Amino acid sequence: MSSVDKEPTMPELSDPAELLREANPVDSFAIDPARREQMHTAIVNGSPSMRGPHDARGWQLKAGAIAAALVLILFGVLALRWSGTPAHLKTISIHSVQSSQFGTTPGGPDHGGGPGNGGVSTITFVPGPLLSGATSSAAIYSFDAPADPSTPLANVASALGIVSPQVVTGGNNGCGIGLSGATAKLFSDCNPTLEWIYNVDLPSCQGVTTNAAGQVVSCVTAWGFNDSGATQAQLEEWSSPAAAAVTPVGLTLGDPVYASGLNHVTYPCEFNGTAIVGCEAIFQYSNAGKLLYASGPLAPSSPTEFGTYPLTSPRDAVAEVDGDLFVHGGTGSSSPVTVTLTSSTTVYEVATLTDGTEVLLPAYSYAGGNGGTYTAIAVSPSLVSEPTEPEASS
């Protein structure tokens, strides 16, 4: 094996950030010089798609590419007409989908087995008998972040009881702004959609710190996030008015989910009654009901219908379910894990298109027979393309 993998070890540290650093499973990956040379040769002398922008035959390639594009467009139009798909619909050229970086819903269960018992390379998803085979259509909506987030942010600050909020210049990320009150701060974030984050002023040390001798030790001062005794009824009583007050125009909040022992409650966002993956309002309290942390969405400005697109059926979209190359635990078996997807609900994924447009993209959220949750884009695959190019840095 050409990589240098580490045995799992448990360092004598209590700082989870250092534990995470120490858990890095691969120190290095060696590629021998002959393979690197082969790679270079294959790329510069390979197929036309591998040729660089300065190739001496660039004009020939450009001409060829234009001709190929025209043929593809013609073929695509004919294929769409032949298949009955509306020919006027633009292909959804996705740059990134908010929830696509990891295969499963955060906090989802393992795919069987326990720690140190992994080793399964693939997950095969199969449709359960109750998944519908019916196709449908749904609207895609595009939206913009508010041009000036200060007004909706001020509304949130007021709803959360921030006293005498003062605008902090330009925020600290170029597109957001901050409001600093007497005991708490509220600031907006920009990625991938505009959201607000509320924090009370905390001690500078958050949980653990490094002392002069370089040892990781617990903070001497009491720390804000360590309460866990609130009941569900209390969390509901405290969070309901706050949730109602911060719900942005155009969105609604769904039923709350309570995290046992964490004094933490989450409300999913909905648009037109459909849940938006990754969009939620979160509230975390002390045992006495003091709001310690919260975050939620700012209102998207004027969602507009991008078009009504054909959706593949929940049964067929199983082929699009993500999550096969990432392994989360395992059974110790050498054969792939099969997960049966038993039911589906239609949701929206927040996606950024290659032209920068943010859209709400119809998707299916599946319940797996193993207790996991998985998503797949529901728009007909013939109308979706995904690039491999990186986004330009600002």
Of residues 79 through 108, those in contact with another protein by CB under 8 A are: 96, 98-103, 106-108
- Alpha-carbon gap, residue 186 to 196, rounded angstroms: 7
**Residue of the chain from 61, 139, 168, 327 that contacts another protein (CB under 8 A):** 327
9-38 core/surface letters (b: 16 or more CB in 10 A; e: else): eeeeeeeeeeeeeeeeeeeeeeeeeeeeee
Which of 99/380 has CB closer to another protein?
Answer: 99
Indicate the DSSP class of residue 94: E
Q: Does 356 bind another protein (CB under 8 A)?
A: no
What residues from 121 to 180 belong to the interface with another protein (CB under 8 A)?
Answer: 121-122, 172-175
What residues from 47 to 66 belong to the interface with another protein (CB under 8 A)?
Answer: 49-56, 58
**Residue of the chain from 93, 117, 155, 340 that contacts another protein (CB under 8 A):** 117
Nearest to 376 by CA among 353, 345, 354: 345
**Residue of the chain from 60, 83, 191, 287 that contacts another protein (CB under 8 A):** 191
- Alpha-carbon gap, residue 283 to 292, rounded angstroms: 8
What residues from 207 to 236 belong to the interface with another protein (CB under 8 A)?
Answer: 207-208, 223, 225-226, 228
Structure tokens at 323: 């999550």
Residue 338, strand partner residues = 124
Q: Does 19 bind another protein (CB under 8 A)?
A: yes
Q: Does 371 bind another protein (CB under 8 A)?
A: no
Q: Does 258 bind another protein (CB under 8 A)?
A: no
Which of 241/371 has CB closer to another protein?
Answer: 371
Q: What is the DSSP string of 225-247?
A: T------HHHHHHHHHHHHHHHP
User: Alpha-carbon torsion 169, 173, 174, 177, what sign?
Assistant: negative
The nearest distance, CB 101 to another protein, in angstroms, is: 5
The nearest distance, CB 180 to another protein, in angstroms, is: 15
Per-residue contact flags (x/-) with another protein for residues 291 to 320, judged by CB under 8 A: --x-------------------------xx
**Residue of the chain from 168, 190, 200, 367 that contacts another protein (CB under 8 A):** 190
Q: Coil, strand, or helix at residue 296?
A: strand
Structure tokens at 296: 């939620």
